[in-house]
């Protein structure tokens, strides 16, 4: 296979043991060894590769950006295509009719992208907590989100147009279409036209089913978002492609909308003795339109304290001056007679100091009736200590805990925020019943929380807990009509559980969607459509690919 591909492929083609091993892992708990890794020089390479795979049955292609996925999304048994080496360029930032946008290739790391956008005072505000690790192709693939999503929404809100290679091996411009433009597209009668025709028919003939399938939460990455394709007479396949984990096509370029970064900001840190008042406090604060409303629990706080030197380094500070910055929180803990059970970070960002101060005053007033402690943090350097703790908690666990490993499998649920105090004790009981330790951090404003247990996956008894716990946990999420994944997506870990969220008729539509785009199942098989694509998408596949080390 390698020699045949090298005949037409300009980029690198690798099959040595070290590379195959490296690409058999991401940030999930899985290991899947590919046969070949390719680093495409340009989209021509990818087009030719897709055509070759189409003509040579038995192979498939799984796209990979930075590989920080927590679901096994960029893992596959056949060919892995890593876009970060060459497909990583960014165009000039432009403005047209009040819209600011930029063209970017999928292999560009978000951290480099942000450095350039910030030079112009602009950001792509859907960046994830892994913003120092991830690349833009992966943010598209997972429909990523993060601390500013409360105000700005997920990646799906920022994709204006894309260039996508479909399974016929040709590259197409995908953009929002008016009804007339859709008719013209359908009339083409070619592969692209057929995708539009069949998808349009699928939407029309299953209108009610699709509308009812839309999850009742503010964030969702699970399944194919059929309900988002048609809106106000506009038909936009990007709303489906985003978050589809490379199972419907390969993105080779994105036109992304950017927004101005707010010039002034303050942070209000809140300290709670219990989860009980959280929803009422969140509701009292939301009218002030905070940019972020994030939370982490006592165990995450303890983790931050335990790894203080590392947290200090990540915040760009030295240990002693960093530790001193926590003096006010130490005093609050003394008043509270112990560490807070929960810390909530409310970021207020506006264009003027006056607006910020006014909102902060309103927030302080709004939380007065509650039994919580608060602190206004005005200095950037002091704010950073909280954000590093919030963003880096999972990474600290990944890198430092010996013998046990982070095991993301119930890592990203979302339920209506007001149900959190009722839901959490029930969810935590499931973990306790299986003797699993964990910590919790998340996006309180959206009701989206990350639970990342620590487990020793060398033990079979521990590995067995994964499906046992996930089964009960996702039943509970379904009871609250929530989403089993708000941001991280389905991959190997959640595809088998999509039936907990969507009924069999909806799953059948997911299957049909996949068949319309990818009839030969060459794009990232086994993800997003449960148990119907030959290998993958099943509990057996999940269980047999858990990495032991
Ligand atoms: C410490 C940590 C914190 C995290 N926090 C968050 C968070 O706050 N929010 C969040 O959303 N996620 C989070 N994640 C998960 C992950 O980092 C994000 O989803 C990230 O956006 C993935 O980007 P990546 O470049 O690493 O993508 P990869 O892992 O390489 O790929 C992700 C998916 O996109 C697909 N893909 C990649 N390139 C293409 C392409 N060109 N065309 C089509 N499909 C493609 C892949 O096949 C895969 O399915 C976190 C992960 C870690 C390790």
Whole-number Å distance, alpha carbon 245 to ligand 1 midpoint, is: 9
CA distances (Å), origin 228, targets 193, 393, 436, 478: 20, 33, 37, 21
Cβ atoms within 10 Å, residue 376:
15
Burial-class residue 472 by CB neighbours within 10 Å (0-12, 13-18, 19+).
Answer: middle
Question: Measured between alpha carbons, how far is residue 306 from residues 21, 271, 315, 400, 441 in Å?
Answer: 32, 19, 15, 11, 17
Which residues of the chain fall below pLDDT 50?
Answer: none
Cα 518 to chain centroid, rounded: 23
Ligand 1 pocket, Cβ-based, cut-off 6 angstroms: 26-27, 62-70, 73-74, 83, 106, 128-130, 133-135, 137-139, 141-142, 144-146, 245-246, 250-251, 394-395, 487-488, 524
Q: How far apart are CA 91 and CA 458, in angstroms?
A: 46
Predicted local confidence at residue 532, as pLDDT: 62
Half-sphere exposure of 75 (CA within 13 A, CB side): 29
Output DSSP code: residue 286: G
Half-sphere CA count of 112, side-chain side, radius 13 A: 15
Per-residue confidence (pLDDT) for residue 318, from 0 to 100: 73
The closest alpha carbon to 8, from 56, 47, 63, 34, belongs to 47
Query: So what's the pLDDT on residue 533?
Result: 55
Q: Whose CA is nearest to atom 2 of ligand 1?
A: 130
17 to 4, 36, 223: CA distances (angstroms): 19, 10, 34
> What's residue 207's pLDDT?
97
Out of 84, 129, 310, 492, give the residue to mutate to test ligand 1, the one with the largest number of ligand atoms within 8 Å of its CB. Answer: 129
pLDDT for residue 534: 57
Is 100 exposed, middle or buried, given 0-12, 13-18 or 19+ CB atoms closer than 10 A?
A: middle
Q: Give Cα 501 distance to the centre of its chain.
A: 18
User: DSSP string covering 430-462, please?
Assistant: HHHHTT-B--EEEETTTTEEEE--EE-TTSHHH
CA 533 – CA 520 distance, rounded (Å)? 10
**How many angstroms separate the CA atoms of 397 and 182, rounded?**
49
Burial class (CB in 10 A: 0-12, 13-18, 19+), 266: buried
Q: What is the pTM of this model?
A: 0.93
CA–CA separation, 447 and 452 (whole Å): 16
Q: How far apart are CA 483 and CA 478, in angstroms?
A: 7
Residue 120 is predicted with a pLDDT of: 96
- Between the CA of 133 and the centroid of ligand 1 the distance, in Å, is 9
What pLDDT digit, counting tens, does each position of 411-455 carry? 999 999 888 888 988 998 999 999 998 888 889 889 999 998 888
**What count of residues does the chain have?**
549
Contacts of 98 (CB under 8 A, 6+ apart): none
Helical spans, DSSP H, in 319-419: 319-324, 327-336, 353-366, 380-400
Nearest-angstrom CA–CA distance, 67 and 28: 9
In angstroms, what is the span from residue 192 Cα to ligand 1's centroid?
27
Q: β-pairing, 79-82 with 61-64?
A: parallel
Enumerate the β-bridge partners of residue 254.
104, 162
Indicate which atom in ligand 1 lies nearest the CA of residue 63: 47
């Amino acid at each position: 296979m390698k020699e045949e591909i090298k005949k037409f492929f300009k980029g690198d083609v690798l099959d040595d043991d070290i590379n195959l091993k490296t690409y058999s892992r991401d940030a999930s708990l899985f290991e899947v060894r590919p046969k070949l890794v390719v680093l495409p020089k340009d989209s021509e390479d990818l087009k030719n590769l897709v055509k070759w795979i189409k003509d040579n049955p038995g192979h498939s292609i799984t796209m990979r950006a930075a590989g920080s996925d927590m679901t096994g999304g960029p893992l596959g048994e056949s060919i892995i295509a890593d876009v970060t080496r060459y497909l990583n360029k960014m165009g000039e930032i432009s403005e047209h009719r009040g819209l600011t946008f930029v063209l970017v290739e999928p292999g560009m790391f978000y951290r480099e992208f942000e450095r350039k956008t910030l030079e112009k005072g602009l950001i792509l505000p859907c960046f994830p907590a892994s913003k120092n690790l991830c690349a833009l192709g992966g943010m598209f693939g997972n429909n990523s989100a993060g601390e500013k999503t409360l105000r700005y929404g997920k990646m799906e809100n920022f994709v204006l147009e894309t260039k996508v290679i479909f399974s016929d091996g040709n590259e197409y411009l995908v953009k929002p279409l008016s009804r007339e433009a859709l008719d013209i597209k359908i009339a083409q009668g070619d592969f692209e036209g057929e995708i539009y025709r069949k998808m349009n028919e699928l939407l029309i003939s299953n209108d009610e089913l699709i509308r009812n399938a839309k999850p009742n939460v503010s964030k969702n990455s699970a399944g194919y978002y059929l309900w988002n394709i048609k809106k106000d007479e506009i038909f936009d396949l990007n709303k489906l492609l985003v978050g589809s984990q490379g199972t419907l096509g390969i993105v080779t370029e994105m036109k992304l909308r950017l927004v101005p970064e707010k010039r002034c900001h303050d942070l209000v840190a809140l300290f709670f003795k219990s989860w009980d008042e959280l929803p009422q406090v969140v509701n009292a604060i939301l009218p002030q339109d905070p940019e972020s409303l994030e939370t982490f629990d006592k165990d995450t706080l303890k983790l931050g304290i335990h790894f203080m030197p590392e947290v200090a380094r990540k915040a760009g500070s030295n240990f002693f001056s960093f530790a001193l910055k926590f003096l006010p929180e130490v005093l609050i803990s003394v008043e509270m007679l112990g560490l807070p059970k929960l810390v909530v970070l409310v970021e207020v960002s506006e264009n003027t100091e006056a607006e910020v101060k006014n909102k902060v005053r309103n927030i302080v007033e709004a939380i007065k009736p509650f039994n919580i402690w608060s602190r206004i943090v005005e200095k950037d350097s002091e704010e950073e200590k909280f954000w590093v703790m919030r963003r880096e908690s999972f990474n600290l666990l990944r890198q430092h805990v010996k013998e046990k490993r982070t095991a993301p499998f119930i890592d990203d649920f979302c339920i209506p925020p007001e149900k959190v105090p009722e839901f959490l004790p029930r969810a935590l009981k499931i973990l306790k019943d299986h003797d699993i330790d964990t910590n919790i951090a998340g996006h309180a404003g959206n009701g989206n929380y990350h639970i990342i247990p620590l487990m020793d996956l060398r033990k079979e008894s521990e590995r067995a807990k994964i499906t046992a716990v996930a089964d009960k946990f996702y039943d509970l999420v379904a009871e609250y009509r929530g989403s089993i994944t708000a941001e991280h997506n389905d991959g190997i870990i959640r595809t088998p559980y999509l039936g907990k969220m969507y009924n069999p008729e909806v799953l059948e539509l997911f299957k049909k969607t996949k068949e319309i785009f990818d009839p030969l199942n060459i794009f990232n098989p086994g993800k997003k459509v449960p148990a119907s694509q030959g290998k993958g998408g099943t509990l057996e596949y999940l269980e047999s690919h858990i990495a032991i080390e």
